[in-house]
Amino acid sequence: MPAHKLFQSPIYLPSLTHETSKAFGLDVPGDPMTLQTKFIGMLDHVGTHVDAFRHVSPNGATIDEMPLDMFMGKVLEPHCR
The mean pLDDT of the chain is: 83
- The verdict on 48 and 26 lying in the same domain is no
- The verdict on 50 and 64 lying in the same domain is yes
- The verdict on 35 and 17 lying in the same domain is yes
Q: Find the domain containing 61 and state its range.
A: 44-72
What's the confidence (pLDDT) of residue 79? 59
What's the confidence (pLDDT) of residue 38? 94
- The verdict on 35 and 52 lying in the same domain is no
Can you tell me the distance from the alpha carbon of 51 to that of 54, in angstroms, rounded to the nearest whole number?
Answer: 8
- The verdict on 35 and 58 lying in the same domain is no
- The verdict on 34 and 49 lying in the same domain is no
The torsion angle over the Cα atoms of residues 6, 57, 45 and 4, rounded to 10 degrees, is -30
Query: Which phi and psi (to 5°) does residue 12 adopt?
Result: -125, 120
- Of 60 and 31, the one with more pLDDT: 60
Q: What is the pLDDT of residues 41-76, one digit of tens each?
A: 988 777 667 788 998 788 999 999 999 988 877 766
- The verdict on 52 and 68 lying in the same domain is yes
Q: How confident is the model at residue 26 (pLDDT cuts 50, 70, 90)?
A: confident
Q: How many domains does the structure of the chain reveal? A: 2
The predicted model scores a pTM of 0.47
Do the domain assignments include residue 16?
Answer: yes
- The verdict on 34 and 14 lying in the same domain is yes
